[in-house]
């Protein structure tokens, strides 16, 4: 497999240390790396003065640097001779009089020398499994499966200290520092493919460029759970904070709001069991603990109390003491035994209405709590659904919690932290459904009249107006087939309208772009604060329905009063308004307020649209939709083609639902074709690889599949679609180019399919303003090398592996494929 661009930072094979003080890395260096270590001559308070690289000596993977800020220019000049592939710049005791200048100096140097630089003022990196402490923290963390990334050295040091006390381990721990070169998106990209990392925890203060952040976060969260603690809520408006919530939901990540919740999340993310819903059953040896947990559950919370089925209630009645009416929470006041505990948990596990079990135990001198803990430690890791425990107390209960932790199932100190942990798991499941959503390849209704819509905007601009008049607003709504009727001015609500009107609003934030909100309309809407009834475009039918059901308006009005036809119309309004702001980046705000909900028709009592102060691009599709945080499904690249013999085929961007077809395609490849593509003898894609290839963020990558229809013996007369080829590019860390991959099914080779697929991929890369596209090809893969030559690629020997060839195409100068 090809080495990741950030592997020198996280998996260094050679190390150069330039520090004017002893660093912990020298005490924990693995033997293999110790043999590849170069120590610079660096006296306290001075810049490194030697040694110099020997003639023919390869560039080191990583330079670890800790010098006074005033010596940064001399240090970088000395480091230039070594040309490290990666560098970590640690903080120094001496104050930096101009941090911005130091950061700019590091950025310019790193770009000039093609170095992946972390810092300056970075906490550094720890990779416990490899014994690597590339930080100033004196202790190396325990080895684990959770990666911890922070934008604060203080937060990182605090979490590391706490983790040591509760015996939580990490696959990676790093704080970014000043982010002169590497930031959250690049680190997330590495961790998404890191086999040592099963889940990721982020402490975030500033996301930077939202599109890059969202793109990397969506890619990582598609294959691993990601939890985010965002600081600075007091500095954000309520709308900005709600937008951040919506963005994380669409990225498939989970947000926690308090520092203590991050600890619960870190513990539970290492748990292998994932719930498929939010319905929780509670078990306790007293009434108090479950009441504390239930305070954190409810319709507006991530989890709710499960409604137990009659068979479960009967099974519990046979286990609990006589006279007790079973319910949820399941409470027993008799001395607990391992057998009774197992019987109760087993019965709840079999209930179809239960998605997880929360066991809350207080100290009880009458019960053998240690034996119960042993039973739970044996039962929970094997259970089909998550079993999370809380052993309240410290002196006698702390060892029992550790017994559960060691068995691989999280145990907590308080009912609130245990309920929070279940909330993390449930929210992750819900947000993953949002992440998987894409727009359909073709609009469900009439395609929008983009020409007319853009002419309306242009006319208003020409007249020097930002606010559109009533006729222009109505014309834009018609152009996008928004299913709403516009009422006459001062007209009363329709007779069948609900008592409380709705409102659909679009507001554009500086960070995440446009956001759609559903709330109360009319005069009461002025007091309507942002709630969970909002989302980022683009929306499809599923996302629009989820937006409706998350809203406060749904809970208060729509759920009990709106007809199915009205809800379907409201979903359609949200979808089409989403399309409008997607294709018309000039629209800054939009309001359908009040929006009267009738039995089957929605009537807008008012409509208002305001344009941005500065004109946006004419064709957002051709520019990659820069005004949006999430790149829409690129319908532009859905194209019908035909082979020379007339057999039809289609090229289109891949979709999440293509996972099964892609796996079948991979299994059907010959061993030689699989080896030429993956440089290994793998027979099928792993679940993580399958998610990685099909759950694509279209800003950072594009995967095109070639499909055709073949007979389907199981359903005669209804052919099935199969994948016959795949072409893919992924942006390189430099942001200027992309790495490509291509594989064609054996039965479809020598039919010009590879040429045509790559031609579309090259056109798409050029439209995304990429400067080059490159890839590594085995030197003995002559058909692929010949194809790349026909496409205009340059063929070079790879510097690191003579068995590979680097083929690349300059997109700025190369003409279209012949």
Number of domains composing the chain: 4
In a domain, 709, yes or no: yes
Residue 347 and residue 398 in one domain? yes
In tens, the pLDDT along 471-481 reads 999 999 999 99
324 φψ region: left (φ > 0), alpha (ψ -120 to 50), beta (else): beta
394 and 504 in a common domain: no
Question: In sequence order, what are the residues at sequence separation of 6 or more whose Cβ sits closer than 8 angstroms to the Cβ of residue 464?
Answer: none
Backbone angles phi, psi at 414, to 5 degrees: -130, 155
Q: What is the pLDDT of residue 665?
A: 93
* pLDDT of 234: 67
Residues 674, 704, single domain; the answer is yes
Pairing of strands 701-710, 720-731: antiparallel
Q: Residue 253 belongs to a domain with what CATH number? A: 3.40.50.261
Residues 702 and 802 in one domain: yes
394 & 464 share domain: no
150 and 29, same domain (yes or no): yes
800 in a domain, yes or no? yes
Q: Is residue 1 part of a domain?
A: no
Q: Is there a contact between 720 and 703 (Cβ–Cβ < 8 Å)?
A: no
Same domain, 95 and 147: yes
Residue 658 maps to which CATH number? 3.40.630.30
**199: enclosing H helix or E strand:** strand 199-204
pLDDT of amino acid 208: 85
> Do 720 and 787 fall into the same domain?
yes
**Residue 233 in domain:** yes
If asked whether residues 489 and 510 sit together in one domain, one would say: yes
We report the CATH number of the domain holding residue 590 as 3.30.470.20
User: What is the pLDDT at residue 1?
Assistant: 46
Pick from 435, 468, 496: which residue ends a domain?
A: 435
> Residue 2 falls within a domain, yes or no?
no
**Would you state the torsion angle of the CA atoms of residues 309, 311, 316, 318, taken in this order, to the nearest 10 degrees?**
160
At residue 779, the pLDDT reads 87
CA dist list (Å): 60 to 42, 87, 489, 753: 18, 10, 73, 41
State whether 604 and 670 are in the same domain: no
Q: For residue 618, what are the contacts with CB-CB under 8 A and spacing of at least 6?
A: 454
- Give the whole-angstrom CA distance, residue 1 versus residue 782: 19
- Both 208 and 285 in a single domain? no
| H/E segment holding residue 147 | strand 143-150
Residue 533: inside a domain, yes or no? yes
793 burial (CB, 10 Å; 0-12 / 13-18 / 19+) is: buried
Rg (CA), the chain: 29
User: Which of 435, 459, 476 represents a domain boundary (last residue)?
Assistant: 435
Is residue 149 a part of any domain in this protein? yes
Predicted confidence (pLDDT) per residue in 574-623, tens digit: 999 999 999 999 999 999 999 999 999 999 999 999 999 998 887 888 88
Which residue numbers in the chain have pLDDT < 70? Answer: 1-2, 56, 234-235, 270, 441-445, 526-529, 679-681, 815-818
Question: Cis peptide leading into 240, omega within 30 of 0?
Answer: no
Domain hosting 458: range is 450-623
Tell me whether residue 29 is in a domain.
yes
pLDDT of 50 reads 82
Task: Using the 3D structure, point to which of 435, 458, 474 is the last residue of a domain.
Answer: 435
Is the overall model pTM greater than 0.75, yes or no?
Answer: yes
Do 53 and 202 lie in one domain? The reply is yes
């Amino acid at each position: 497999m090809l080495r990741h661009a950030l592997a020198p930072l996280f998996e260094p094979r050679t190390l150069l240390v330039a520090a004017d003080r002893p660093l912990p890395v020298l005490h924990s260096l693995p033997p293999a790396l110790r043999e590849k270590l170069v120590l610079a001559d660096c006296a306290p308070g001075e810049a490194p003065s030697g040694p110099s690289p020997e003639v023919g000596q390869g560039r080191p993977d990583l330079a670890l640097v800790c010098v006074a800020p005033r010596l940064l220019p001399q240090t970088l000049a000395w480091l230039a001779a070594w040309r490290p592939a990666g560098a970590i710049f640690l903080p120094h005791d001496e104050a930096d009089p101009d941090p911005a200048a130091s950061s700019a100096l590091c950025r310019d140097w790193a770009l000039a020398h093609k170095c992946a630089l972390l810092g300056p003022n970075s906490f550094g990196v720890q990779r416990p499994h490899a014994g690597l402490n590339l930080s100033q923290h004196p202790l190396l963390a325990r080895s684990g499966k959770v990666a911890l990334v922070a934008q604060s050295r203080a937060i990182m040091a605090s979490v590391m200290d706490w983790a040591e006390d509760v015996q939580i381990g990490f696959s990676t721990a790093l704080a970014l520092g000043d982010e002169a070169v590497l930031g959250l998106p690049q680190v997330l990209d590495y961790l998404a493919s890191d086999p040592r990392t099963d889940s990721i925890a982020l402490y975030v203060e500033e996301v930077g460029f939202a599109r890059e952040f969202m793109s990397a976060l969506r890619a990582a969260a598609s294959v691993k759970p990601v939890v985010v603690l965002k600081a600075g809520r007091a500095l954000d408006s309520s709308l900005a904070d709600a937008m951040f919530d919506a963005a994380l939901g669409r990225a498939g990540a989970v947000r926690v709001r308090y520092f203590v919740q991050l600890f619960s999340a870190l513990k539970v993310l290492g748990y292998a069991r994932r719930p498929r819903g939010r319905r929780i059953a509670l078990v306790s040896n007293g009434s108090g603990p479950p009441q504390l947990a239930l305070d954190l559950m409810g319709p507006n919370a991530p989890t709710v109390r499960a409604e137990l089925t009659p068979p479960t209630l009967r099974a519990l009645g046979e286990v609990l003491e006589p006279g007790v009416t079973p319910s949820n929470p399941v409470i027993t006041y008799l001395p607990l035994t391992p057998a009774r505990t197992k019987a109760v948990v087993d019965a709840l596990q079999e209930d179809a209405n239960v998605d997880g079990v929360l066991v809350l135990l207080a100290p009880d001198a009458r019960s053998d709590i240690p034996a119960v803990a042993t039973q739970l430690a044996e039962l929970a890791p094997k259970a089909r659904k998550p079993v999370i425990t809380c052993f309240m107390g410290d002196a006698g209960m702390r060892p029992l919690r550790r017994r559960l932790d060691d068995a691989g199932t999280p145990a907590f100190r308080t009912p609130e932290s245990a309920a929070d942990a279940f909330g993390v798991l449930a929210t992750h499941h819900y947000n993953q459904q949002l992440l998987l959503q894409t727009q359909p390849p073709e609009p469900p209704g009439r395609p929008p009249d983009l020409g007319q819509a853009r002419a309306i905007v242009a006319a208003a601009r020409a007249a020097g107006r930002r606010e559109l008049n009533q006729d222009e607003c109505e014309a834009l709504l018609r152009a996008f087939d928004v299913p709403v009727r516009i009422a006459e001015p001062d007209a009363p609500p329709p007779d069948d309208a609900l008592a409380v009107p709705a409102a659909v609003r679009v507001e554009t934030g500086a960070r995440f772009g446009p956001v759609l909100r559903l709330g109360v309309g009319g005069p009461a809407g002025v007091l309507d604060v942002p709630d969970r009834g909002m989302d980022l475009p683009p929306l499809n039918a599923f996302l629009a329905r989820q937006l409706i059901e998350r809203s406060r308006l749904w809970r208060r009005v729509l759920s009990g009063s709106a007809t199915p036809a009205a809800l379907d119309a409201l979903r359609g309004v949200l979808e089409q308004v989403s399309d409008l702001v997607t294709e018309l980046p000039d629209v800054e705000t939009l309001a359908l307020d009040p929006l009267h909900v009738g039995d089957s028709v929605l009537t807008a009592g008012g409509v208002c649209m305001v344009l941005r102060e500065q004109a946006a691009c004419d064709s957002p599709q051709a520019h990659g939709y820069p005004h949006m945080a999430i790149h829409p499904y690129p319908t532009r690249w859905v194209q019908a083609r035909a082979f020379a013999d007339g057999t039809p085929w289609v090229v289109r961007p891949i979709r999440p639902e293509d996972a099964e077809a892609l796996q079948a395609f991979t299994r059907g490849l010959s061993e030689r074709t699989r080896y030429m593509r993956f440089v290994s003898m793998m027979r099928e894609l792993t679940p993580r690889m399958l998610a990685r290839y099909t759950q694509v963020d279209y800003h950072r990558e594009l995967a095109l599949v070639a499909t055709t229809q073949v007979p389907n013996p199981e359903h005669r007369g209804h052919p099935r679609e199969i994948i016959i080829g795949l072409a893919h590019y992924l942006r390189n860390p430099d942001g200027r180019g992309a790495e490509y991959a291509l594989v064609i099914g054996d039965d479809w080779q020598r039919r010009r399919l590879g040429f045509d697929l790559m031609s579309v991929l090259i056109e798409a890369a050029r439209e995304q303003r990429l400067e080059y596209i490159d890839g590594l090809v085995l030197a003995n893969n002559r058909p692929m090398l010949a194809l790349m030559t026909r496409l205009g690629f340059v063929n070079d020997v790879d510097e690191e592996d003579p068995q590979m060839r680097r083929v690349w195409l300059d997109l700025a100068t190369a003409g279209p494929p012949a």
